[in-house]
């Protein structure tokens, strides 16, 4: 019995020595010393599995069987034999969605939010009996939709006459009647094309203005995507030097579609200087369009509005230096938040006086039932709505199409 116990103890001691020797060999190996070969078939920490907390031989890294002697010592690896890391592919610019038909594709989103105007009028005029109280409700619906007093009176008078002549008021007839009158009110003959055709020796220049919070910088980025989708070369000018993140935000938009951004990294840089550099860079690079973002301004701040006028004048000086033809800014787009209603019209008037606005961009049109703002802002300024924002997606900026807009209201 005693001999058996001694035999077991002896075997245990031998096992400890073997295991201890293996562990010591690993330590010596890590320090670059001579080591002994590990027991055959035993996975090697740091070789056959990744070492770490809880190493337990259950995470094989390499199924090939190699002895310790076959492995290079630390510091003896030939760099030429080490496989190079895979080359990182250059990020490819995004390809924006086609511009044609965008408003049609987005009409469902628009129709969901403008039921008060289109669907409300349809319900009223489809009644079996249209009396004076009905016409008062029609007028109220139009005013609540921010159509404005003048256009409302004009539309009600025309609808009264046509309903009287029409006689029958089935749903299809009333819908077509409304569609025709609303399209006429929106202005189907207004020129809504963007002036983005380059000139001889210089690019077209688009100045984008607006108050804080209307989504102006985002609109510039989305407009760049519209132009890229039309195969135009574009340069962005980050002339909003007051808001710290504006230039970074604009540059990110540009990088997504491979468009360069001219900006200043100095605090409080002169926005007119940035505009000048952007126009000059566009001319030297022979690009098609330069888009100039500007700082959001309150329409009642005279000094800021004067500075905006300076940005425009300096950009025109850059155009004169770039081409003997010179010329002025091709397009001045005023970005308005459609949800602000009549207050947006007051903003529009002041900006129009400062920089001669040529077109309107209505953002957040999908978030309001006040679709009448399209008509009222055009009447107040005498310039057309050229673009509308219908969501937060990168390609949710669409050229404004009167018939598609009206169809969406009546869906």
Detail the residues annotated as belonging to a binding site for GTP: 210-217, 293-297, 363-366
CB distance 398 to 387 below 8 Å: yes
Task: Report how far residue 275's alpha carbon sits from residue 262's, in angstroms, rounded to the nearest whole number.
Answer: 8
Provide long-range contacts, Cβ within 8 A and 24+ apart, for 71-80.
Answer: 71/47, 73/32, 74/30, 74/32, 75/32
Q: Which two tokens stand for residue 356?
A: 């001669």
CB distance 77 to 69 below 8 Å: no
Q: How many helices (H) and strands (E) does the chain have?
A: 14, 8
Residue list for the binding site: 210-217, 293-297, 363-366
Alpha carbon 156 to chain centroid, angstroms: 39
Q: How far is CA 105 from CA 74, 227, 228, 287, 364, in A?
A: 62, 18, 19, 30, 16
CB distance 324 to 198 below 8 Å: no
Q: Which SS3 state, helix, strand or coil, does residue 259 take?
A: coil
Radius of gyration of the CA atoms of the chain, in A: 35
Nearest to 211 by CA among 357, 313, 329: 357
- Taking each helix axis as running N to C, give the angle between helix 118-125 and helix 402-410, from 0 to 180 degrees, rounded to the nearest 10: 60
Task: Report how far residue 134's alpha carbon sits from residue 226's, in angstroms, rounded to the nearest whole number.
Answer: 43
Beta bridge mates, 236: 261, 291
User: Exposed, middle or buried: residue 158 (CB in 10 Å: 0-12, 13-18, 19+)?
Assistant: middle
**Strand residue runs (E) in 250-384:** 261-262, 289-294, 331-337, 359-363
Q: Which two tokens stand for residue 223?
A: 């407009």
């Amino acid at each position: 019995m005693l001999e058996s116990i001694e035999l077991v103890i002896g075997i245990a001691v031998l096992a400890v020595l073997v295991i201890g020797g293996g562990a010591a060999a690993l330590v010596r190996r890590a320090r670059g010393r001579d080591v002994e070969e590990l027991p055959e078939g035993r996975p090697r920490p740091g070789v056959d599995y990744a070492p770490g907390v809880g190493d337990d031989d259950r995470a094989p890294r390499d199924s090939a069987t190699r002895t310790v002697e076959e492995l290079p010592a630390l510091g003896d690896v030939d760099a030429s034999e080490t496989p190079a890391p895979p080359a990182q592919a250059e990020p490819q610019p995004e390809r924006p969605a086609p511009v044609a038909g965008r408003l049609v594709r987005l009409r469902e989103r628009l129709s969901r939010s403008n039921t008060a105007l289109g669907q409300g009028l349809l319900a009223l005029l489809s009644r079996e009996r249209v009396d004076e109280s009905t016409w008062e409700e029609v007028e109220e619906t139009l005013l609540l939709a921010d159509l404005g007093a003048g256009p409302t009176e004009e539309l009600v008078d025309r609808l009264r006459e046509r309903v009287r002549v029409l006689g029958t008021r089935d749903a299809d007839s009333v819908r077509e009647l409304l569609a025709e009158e609303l399209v006429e009110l929106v202005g189907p003959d207004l020129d809504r094309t963007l002036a983005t055709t380059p000139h001889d020796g210089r690019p077209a220049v688009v100045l984008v203005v607006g108050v804080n919070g209307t989504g102006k910088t985002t609109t510039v980025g989305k407009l760049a995507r519209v132009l890229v989708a039309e195969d135009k070369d574009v340069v962005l000018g980050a002339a909003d030097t007051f808001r710290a993140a504006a230039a970074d935000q604009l540059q990110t938009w540009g990088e997504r579609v491979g468009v360069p951004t001219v900006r200043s990294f100095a605090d409080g840089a002169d926005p007119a200087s940035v505009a000048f550099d952007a126009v000059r860079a566009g001319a030297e690079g022979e690009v098609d369009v330069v888009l100039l973002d500007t700082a959001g301004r309150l329409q009642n701040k005279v000094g800021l509005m004067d500075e905006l006028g300076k940005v425009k004048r300096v950009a025109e000086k850059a155009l004169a230096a770039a081409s003997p033809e010179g010329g002025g800014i091709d397009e001045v787009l005023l970005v308005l938040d459609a949800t602000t209603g009549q207050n947006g019209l007051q903003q529009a008037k002041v900006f129009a006086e400062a920089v001669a606005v040529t077109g309107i961009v209505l953002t957040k049109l999908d978030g309001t039932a006040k679709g009448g703002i399209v008509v009222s802002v055009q009447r107040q300024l005498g310039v057309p709505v050229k673009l509308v924002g219908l969501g937060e997606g990168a390609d949710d900026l669409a050229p404004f199409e009167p018939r598609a807009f009206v169809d969406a209201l009546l869906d």
